[in-house]
Structure 1
Amino acid sequence: MERSSSNEYNTRIRELPSSERPRERLRDLGARSLTTAELLAIILRTGSAEQNVVNLATALLARHNGLAGLARLSFAELTHEKGLGEAKAAELQAAFELALRLRDLEPEARPYVRNPQDVYGLIGAEMGMLDQEHLRVVLLNTRNQVIAMPEVYRGNVGTSLVRMSEVMREAVRQNAPSMVLVHNHPSGDPSPSPDDVLLTKIAIEAGKVLDIEVMDHIVIGDHRWASLKQLGLAFPAG
């Protein structure tokens, strides 16, 4: 059974000098000085018998490709993570939900997406440098402002490997009425492949069922991009 006392927190990280303990570092240096793992450790409070809370937080982030991947896990999935139980899963989901609500308080600060160039301006430079294929979705509100840009898949972006439930999951969770698919070609050539076209067609049909409009699929290359919609691929004419 998990305990929440500060004594347990100190016991779990007693091997660390005070200057390296997350709570003390936050107190002395401010939250912005802490790493993501340290901030996560403060939320988790305690580690496990095998590892202290900082190592637990680091392992969770590594296993799920960062904070965004961890935030996509359901409550049930979180409870099955080693070192987590229902209490820690609830604390994590509460923290993620508060972050979403804070973001929603400042809608005017969100960037707009009106065309493929806007999408490229947001994440093109970052994705163009990746040496492995990554698939992200740019979730939009009714004003075409960005809600979020989560990564939904990493690896060869083929229709036999990408689960459409994962592609649509965050759009459903965040009630996004529309989305743009974005993935990169490590070769540097953004020309859409037959698999890219097929994936887009499947996503469009899945979106119709869920009442989520797939507005475009942007392929990122080396300082270049290609829009399947502009090329007349997968999307209906007109």
Structure 2
Amino acid sequence: MGDREPGYRITDLATSDRPRERLASLGAGALSNAELIAILLRTGIEGMNAVQLAQRVLNDFGGLVGLHKAPYDELCQQRGVGPAKATQLKAAVELGRRLSVALPEERPTIQSPEDAAALLLYEMGALEQEHFRVLLLDTRNHLIRTVEVYQGSLNTSLIRVGEVFKEAVRSNAAAIIVAHNHPSGDPTPSPDDINVTRALVEAGRLLDIEVLDHLVIGKNRFVSLKAKGLGFNST
């Protein structure tokens, strides 16, 4: 069980499919989350190589966010993981979290809808429930952090404006970008999406926190309501 269970190693994969070799030749950005985690796991279990095991762990915990929130003891109990690998995974995820709150010049700068979507599309496009997230930005559009406001069965018409801006006020954010996903995969904005955008833009004016955009995330694609002029017209 755990770290001691014999299994398939990364070296059992064809050279062109090995995550470490792919990282060396293509760069870390070319690898999927599962491939990056497989590098940390090193070995799989019987009938499952390291990449497949990594994908199963991601699925079991609901992606990177779930892996970050997972209790250490629960991660240790995952078949094929165990204490040593759980420690490595937790350390790697914590480094990623610390990077997100690093010095402003090291944080991502959001200059376009594509920049914002690049931070959200891969994960949110695969979520099976609706999530509503807020990107908090400073005066230079550096990302301060991303907060999740709602999760589950979501009707955007029921979103409370105060909840959306709460962390922005606490973090002294100068601007925000809001985003939510459509689990159907179709990012076409609904009338409710447009109405809530209009309400958020107006509230942002009153709070002096500009709403730069509202992204609707679908499967491998997104819609910028700002680019479409939906909900951002002057009232």
Equivalent position of 1:51 in the other structure: none
Distance, in Å, in 1 between the alignment partners of 2:101 and 2:182 is 32
Equivalent position of 1:158 in the other structure: 155
Equivalent position of 2:90 in the other structure: none
Could you tell me which runs of 5 or more consecutive residues in structure 1 were left unpaired when the two chains were aligned. 1-32, 34-64, 69-98
**Superposed counterparts of 1:14-163, under 5 Å:** 106-163=103-160
**One of 165, 169, 175 as aligned partner of 1:168:** 165
Structure 1 residue 210: deviation in Å?
Answer: 1.1
Letter matched to residue 175 of structure 2: S
Letter matched to residue 138 of structure 2: N
Distance, in Å, in 2 between the alignment partners of 1:67 and 1:212 is 29
Where has structure 1 moved over 4 Å in runs of 4 or more?
A: 65-68, 102-105
Structure number with higher helix proportion: 2
- Are residue 213 (structure 1) and residue 210 (structure 2) matched? yes
SS in 1 for 2:215: strand
Letter matched to residue 126 of structure 2: M
Structure 1 residue 221: deviation in Å?
Answer: 0.3
User: Pairwise CA RMSD of aligned residues?
Assistant: 2.4
Structure-2 change in CA distance of 1:225 and 1:233 (3 Å):
same
Contact 2:100 2:145 in 1 (8 A): no
Contact 2:204 2:211 in 1 (8 A): yes
Contact 1:157 1:196 in 2 (8 A): no
**One of 205, 222, 225 as aligned partner of 1:225:** 222
Tell me the matched-pair count: 143
Distance, in Å, in 2 between the alignment partners of 1:129 and 1:184 is 9
Distance, in Å, in 2 between the alignment partners of 1:125 and 1:103 is 17
Distance, in Å, in 2 between the alignment partners of 1:118 and 1:160 is 26
Contact 1:141 1:176 in 2 (8 A): yes
Structure-2 change in CA distance of 1:217 and 1:185 (3 Å):
same
Letter matched to residue 151 of structure 2: R
Letter matched to residue 222 of structure 2: W
Structure 1 residue 164: deviation in Å?
Answer: 1.4
SS in 2 for 1:216: strand
Structure-2 change in CA distance of 1:66 and 1:212 (3 Å):
farther
- Are residue 191 (structure 1) and residue 188 (structure 2) matched? yes
Could you tell me which runs of 5 or more consecutive residues in structure 2 were left unpaired when the two chains were aligned. 1-39, 41-65, 70-96
Distance, in Å, in 2 between the alignment partners of 1:127 and 1:105 is 23
Distance, in Å, in 2 between the alignment partners of 1:162 and 1:109 is 32
Distance, in Å, in 1 between the alignment partners of 2:184 and 2:176 is 25
Which string of whole-angstrom CA distances, capped at 9 and with x for unpartnered residues, describes residues 79-134 of structure 1?
A: xxxxxxxxxxxxxxxxxxxx99x976621110011111111111110000000110
Equivalent position of 1:39 in the other structure: none
Letter matched to residue 221 of structure 1: G
Distance, in Å, in 2 between the alignment partners of 1:175 and 1:67 is 25
SS in 2 for 1:192: coil
SS in 1 for 2:227: coil
